[in-house]
Structure 1
């Protein structure tokens, strides 16, 4: 005998008024009503059994065994960051029938009178902020479900640290309740607000520092703060970025980031990607922080670590640039080879024949196809009456990938 359907019903903002007639009919015919206490309290006269929603695994065990007619109450649209995902993943889909309602996010956008079809949606509720901040800073408009730890103030502090503070902010608290509150502020203003645990944060891009004077590629070397002019030069950066074959939303590691010049120009070419710039040398850390802030490189995350130790907690890369190895080139290539995605690419810059020889040998030993490009740059230098070319030291750009040439 087939099991009874499980009815998943979304509770609206306004209690009884938030349920459609069909949803109320299903609830009235139910034997068991499962939900959070605030949802169960909407139905004080329910004649059947009530179960407070707690451990999802216990609820699942009950649903798999019961022959009773069960309604599970969720918030708004249960398929939107709700219990719907859990039920559909663990029960036959034909057994689940869903009655969605207005989500708290829909309601919040309606109250602040802002269209929401161009927004993205992020939840840090019980999930942590590390990946969420990357998504937020790439967005023009975003709605965020928070929790007590990952609060609006905590999110604001992370955004300020990343130089991404150019948002108008709407803090929407206790929606549908007597103390419902909407506060309009900016990212800095959020830091000083102690928000209700029940809140939605909406951020709408209002401004960002003007970078129109800087190109996407080819930023003058003098624009970067650096130590002793130790920087991947403008022309070499251009060839390096070309060899990396960057695309819109890739993940890139910049190992031995130095001044961060390669990461910064790569970020312009990866507007929806993520770049992790590893640097531990205290001589460079102040410079790279200044450069990341100056060029508003929001999708570049500075990782204060020496490779390969600092790579363990990073997501697997699509592209890896090795600008410096600190004498650990073999170990770094070994670590990268274990994590690089199958269609990924490694690019390494060498200025000595020793580094070039070792890089090619190590990469080929790990099964990579290797291409080396020697870049010889000479730039004009003015004399009293004439100009002459002044040669720079050659740079060897090593590109490696799995597969045939």
Structure 2
């Protein structure tokens, strides 16, 4: 007699994961995909049977009866609403329980334009200018064909299947405007494509973390493209993790696999904690990068070399025979570690984290300094404004990933006037070839030393150094003949902008860079783009950056709004000089990020009039106008008299939809 089975309608990553989870553990499993391509992504064998083909309600019912399905799992795409509706209808007719797998939402998209469907996305773009990258698939293309000049402006990315390409060509997408590729797409690939097609807009669906939504959002931010996001339909169902738990309980699977993330310390096996060694010795398999596995070379357990979270996840899914899995990570799991990303990637499993000795802790012990209050930073595969943290704290620990980065750190210290900073470079800590070099930055920068990539750098400013110049005193800035926003007005401007620590900011008409300096100090993890068309002004910005030891400013030579085109989308903008182009500048900023707050200062009546016109033109951006007039005391003989400065109007435009 034929046993009851499970019927899985797949076509997504969730469907493939469910098939692998059920492999060898459950009754017979029938996985149905819409296309042959989808079928190739699921391995047939053991108790897994893969079928391909589009089915209507009757066809689904015939399949369910033929395989005697006692449970149906709908793991189709979140936007495959018609298919999900047919699956529910079939299950009601056949009286079979149905579980809908819900895809978890992804963070990001705060600065995007959200719409309900593709028709609304196309309608929003109909009166916008600039190129458009469309990543919503090939099924519903008619709305895009109603965008003016769509054959020239729109670029469509679809799956590299014959069906998708033929349908796209039939709708007028061809040549360089049709990109047939198979994902997944990394953030870098998305960014390169956006830049290549010079996209001002990216149309995407909220496909969640698994669907690459976060990668697209971050790529759009870096490429300066506005995301147009089609919101996900509301459904009832269970997240993937709960589906796994339900299946384990229903079919009596063994306890979920145990995964341990282990910090192995600086690298040498002798720095392993006793708890870490015990967990490694009791594991069925050890997973990690080559250097991590070397620390466990004397532990007689199977090794698998891999460090990428998604590949580790794939290996675990495809090798259900391993029940106790240890993943080895460099240093301490709580300090610039891959542990957090792995824990998120492997959240359907029972994951434990064991800390290790960090290389920074090892370095601090070697050179005899405390770690209290010292910023712990890293430029290992990331950017970091470490010079700004050094300015604020006087001391910094820094992880690097190459010898060139060590040399770059030393060179930048000298360039920003800190050649007398004391620097320690610890290389290959805990290994037999351990080396610690110390000295003044200016001496080490010229020493010609070949630095090791596996290094920790400790920097400390001289205690007897000169007091830092004050960004609140106009006289402390290098001035020249370029106009500068006065300190009292700057304080009001900064109170209106309130930049976040990691904000991306434009300073348009930056002049001497006085506002840029103060913004950059507050956005210590962010970046200020100081836009100035005057050559003298650009030179002054560079000089003031060095004078105030501020590194997170990028001087940009050119005239707005044209020069803004290639900059990343801003969170905030200050316009101190518009050259009569205020309306176009505001439009360019909000085209990149409709949610950006913009503060404008105006001294002339002409600019005030422009501001008033813009308040009417951009009604979706609530505005507030403020007048500031400062008077300063001036000695006149034995008396003090107040001397008034010109009034300054400060207009604050909020982001779209904000109050």
What TM-score do you get using the length of structure 1 for normalisation?
0.81
For residues 306-358 of structure 1, what are the alpha-carbon distances to aligned partners after superposition, in whole Å with 9 as ceiling and x for unaligned? 3333465446334x32111234322211133345685x643222233222212
In the alignment, which residue of structure 2 is the partner of 1:141? 395
Where in structure 2 are the equivalents of 1:257-276 lying within 5 Å? Answer: 257-266=510-519, 275-276=528-529
For residues 111-136 of structure 1, what are the alpha-carbon distances to aligned partners after superposition, in whole Å with 9 as ceiling and x for unaligned? 11111132222222222x36555555
Of stretches 39-48 and 108-117 in structure 1, the one that deviates more from structure 2 is 39-48
> Does the residue aligned with 2:474 lie in a helix, a strand or coil?
coil
Q: Aligned to 2:341, which of 66, 80, 86?
A: 86
For residues 70-113 of structure 1, what are the alpha-carbon distances to aligned partners after superposition, in whole Å with 9 as ceiling and x for unaligned? 22222232343233223201112752223222111111111111
In the alignment, which residue of structure 1 is the partner of 2:456? 200
Q: Aligned to 1:354, which of 606, 626, 631?
A: 606
Structure 1 residues 194, 44: CA separation in 2 closer, same or farther (over 3 Å shift)? closer
Q: 1 or 2 for the larger relative contact order (CA 8 Å, sep ≥6)?
A: 1
Structure 1 residues 190, 377: CA separation in 2 closer, same or farther (over 3 Å shift)? same
Number of residue pairs the alignment of both structures matches: 398
Shift of 1:52: 2.1
Q: Aligned to 1:334, which of 587, 592, 598?
A: 587
Structure 1 residues 377, 34: CA separation in 2 closer, same or farther (over 3 Å shift)? closer
Is 1:19–2:275 an aligned residue pair? no
Counterpart-to-counterpart distance in 2, 1:388 and 1:103: 62
Shift of 1:181: 1.0
Shift of 1:180: 0.9
For residues 233-268 of structure 1, what are the alpha-carbon distances to aligned partners after superposition, in whole Å with 9 as ceiling and x for unaligned? 4554455445x3546847343211111233345556
In the alignment, which residue of structure 2 is the partner of 1:9? 262
Counterpart-to-counterpart distance in 1, 2:472 and 2:283: 63
Where in structure 2 are the equivalents of 1:110-259 lying within 5 Å? Answer: 110-127=365-382, 129=383, 134-135=388-389, 137-148=391-402, 151-163=405-417, 167-192=421-446, 193-207=449-463, 210-211=466-467, 216-220=471-475, 224-227=478-481, 230-242=483-495, 244=496, 246=498, 249=501, 251=503, 252-259=505-512
Counterpart-to-counterpart distance in 2, 1:379 and 1:13: 59
- Unpaired runs of 5+ residues, structure 1, are none
Q: Aligned to 1:29, which of 282, 295, 301?
A: 282
In the alignment, which residue of structure 2 is the partner of 1:322? 575
Structure 1 residues 250, 54: CA separation in 2 closer, same or farther (over 3 Å shift)? closer
Give the number of the structure whose alpha-carbon radius of gyration is greater: 2
Structure 1 residues 100, 363: CA separation in 2 closer, same or farther (over 3 Å shift)? same
Instruction: Kindly indicate whether the alpha-carbon contact (under 8 Å) linking 1:157 and 1:191 is maintained by their aligned counterparts in 2.
Output: yes
Structure 1 residues 364, 120: CA separation in 2 closer, same or farther (over 3 Å shift)? farther
Structure 1 residues 257, 207: CA separation in 2 closer, same or farther (over 3 Å shift)? farther
Shift of 1:284: 1.5
Shift of 1:29: 2.9
Counterpart-to-counterpart distance in 2, 1:10 and 1:404: 44
Instruction: Kindly indicate whether the alpha-carbon contact (under 8 Å) linking 2:263 and 2:331 is maintained by their aligned counterparts in 1.
Output: yes
Counterpart-to-counterpart distance in 2, 1:74 and 1:272: 26
What TM-score do you get using the length of structure 2 for normalisation?
0.53
Instruction: Kindly indicate whether the alpha-carbon contact (under 8 Å) linking 2:403 and 2:450 is maintained by their aligned counterparts in 1.
Output: no
Instruction: Kindly indicate whether the alpha-carbon contact (under 8 Å) linking 1:255 and 1:325 is maintained by their aligned counterparts in 2.
Output: yes
In the alignment, which residue of structure 1 is the partner of 2:62? none
Counterpart-to-counterpart distance in 2, 1:34 and 1:259: 53
Counterpart-to-counterpart distance in 2, 1:98 and 1:388: 68
> Does the residue aligned with 2:570 lie in a helix, a strand or coil?
coil
Of stretches 9-18 and 277-286 in structure 1, the one that deviates more from structure 2 is 9-18
Report the RMSD for the aligned CA atoms in angstroms. 3.7
